[in-house]
């Protein structure tokens, strides 16, 4: 182990602790972030960490942006902007899996899959954080009618623009680090945006949604107003983390096949 390795590992721990202190991560999320960071560094050196950092820092900043405006809509979400270990795994798990395969196979396509998986996670986060502050209500891709902000499976113009920006941001970072072809960069962004589209449709058709028996609000939470909520749509296992994991996984696999 070199001095540089020790330095990088220290930075990973300190950044994760800062995330916990700054309420971007829960304690379990901080531990998961440390494990994720160390695994990525082991599998892909410091460049992989920069890609991960581009996602983590941009999404964390956006989650704090106009937080007061987001509060009413976030009441529908099962969890707030503070990521726990399940959310870290859902967003980073597929990317880590692709990198582990890359580490042993040394097939560059698995590295591209890693980048696209991060791009998909970032596209979803940017779409959610930007779309929820838009002036207009989003439209459900299932009913094509307007729904309340924060409802899964809905799209808006500003949210879609956020998804494009989030995927493109990771693609640009990857270009600066790895200098792939311009076509590959476009592929990263396209695969990342595709992951967000998959996330939207999975959220609309399969993700679990509950109703509070007390106030009648539709939410992702299993407990609301001091009472157990009633499942109205989807399956309990198919929650937001499941949707995020699958969309990131499929976005990465698309890049693996396409680029």
The DSSP letter of residue 210 is E
pLDDT at 218 over 80: no
Q: Which domain holds residue 125?
A: 49-258
What is the average pLDDT across 238-253?
95
**So what's the pLDDT on residue 31?**
96
Q: Are 27 and 34 in contact (CB under 8 A)?
A: no
Is residue 141 situated within a structural domain? yes
CA dist 244 and 48 (Å) reads 20
Measured CA to CA in angstroms, residue 209 lies from 124, 141, 142, 205, 239 at distances of 19, 15, 14, 10, 8
**So what's the pLDDT on residue 37?**
96
Is residue 181 situated within a structural domain? yes
Contacts by 176-181 with C-beta closer than 8 Å and gap 24+?
Answer: 177/47, 177/50, 177/51, 178/47, 178/111, 178/115, 180/112, 180/259
CA dist 180 and 51 (Å) reads 14
Is residue 78 situated within a structural domain? yes
**So what's the pLDDT on residue 71?**
59
Is residue 12 situated within a structural domain? no
Residue 228: enclosing H or E segment and its boundaries? strand 227-228
Is residue 208 situated within a structural domain? yes
CA dist 103 and 43 (Å) reads 5
Is residue 167 situated within a structural domain? yes
Q: Where are the beta strands (DSSP E) in 150-191?
A: 154-155
Give the DSSP letter string of 41-81.
HHHHHHHHHHHHHHHHHHHHHHHHTTHHHHHHHHTTSSS-S
- Report how many domains make up the chain: 1
Structure tokens at 121: 């996670």
**So what's the pLDDT on residue 68?**
63
Give the DSSP letter string of 109-127.
HHHHHHHHHHHHHHHHHHH
Is residue 32 situated within a structural domain? no
Q: Taking Cα atoms as reference points, which of 107, 106, 124, 135 lies closest to residue 207?
A: 124
Structure tokens at 38: 């160390």
Strand partners of residue 155: 139
In degrees to the nearest 10, what's the CA dihedral of 105, 110, 114, 117?
Answer: -140
**So what's the pLDDT on residue 79?**
55
Is residue 58 situated within a structural domain? yes
What confidence tens digit (pLDDT) does each residue in 141-179 have? 998 998 888 788 899 999 999 999 999 999 999 999 998
**So what's the pLDDT on residue 182?**
87
**So what's the pLDDT on residue 76?**
61
Q: Are 30 and 16 in contact (CB under 8 A)?
A: yes
């Amino acid at each position: 182990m070199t001095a540089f390795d020790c330095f990088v590992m220290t930075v990973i721990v300190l950044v994760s602790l800062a995330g916990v202190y700054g309420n971007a991560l829960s304690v379990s999320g901080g531990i998961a972030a440390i494990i994720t960071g160390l695994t990525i560094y082991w599998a892909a050196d410091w460049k992989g960490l920069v890609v991960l950092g581009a996602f983590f820092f941009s999404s964390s900043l956006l989650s704090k942006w106009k937080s007061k405006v987001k509060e009413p809509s976030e009441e529908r979400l099962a969890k707030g902007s503070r990521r726990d270990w399940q959310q870290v795994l859902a967003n980073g798990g597929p990317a880590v899996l692709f990198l582990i395969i890359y580490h042993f196979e040394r097939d560059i396509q698995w590295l591209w899959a890693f980048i696209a998986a991060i791009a998909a996670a970032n596209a979803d986060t940017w779409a959610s954080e930007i779309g929820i502050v838009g002036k207009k209500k989003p439209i459900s891709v299932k009913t094509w009618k307007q729904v309340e902000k924060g409802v899964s499976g809905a799209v808006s113009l500003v949210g879609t623009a956020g998804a494009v920006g989030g995927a493109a941001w990771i693609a640009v970072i990857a270009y600066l680090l790895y200098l792939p072809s311009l076509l590959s960069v476009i592929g990263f962004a396209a695969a990342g945006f595709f992951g967000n589209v998959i996330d939207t449709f999975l959220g609309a058709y399969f993700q679990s949604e509950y109703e509070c028996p007390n106030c009648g609000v539709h939410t992702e939470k299993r407990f609301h107003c001091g009472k157990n909520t009633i499942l109205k749509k989807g399956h309990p296992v198919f929650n937001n983390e499941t949707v995020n994991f699958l969309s990131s996984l499929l976005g990465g696999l698309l890049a693996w096949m396409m680029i």
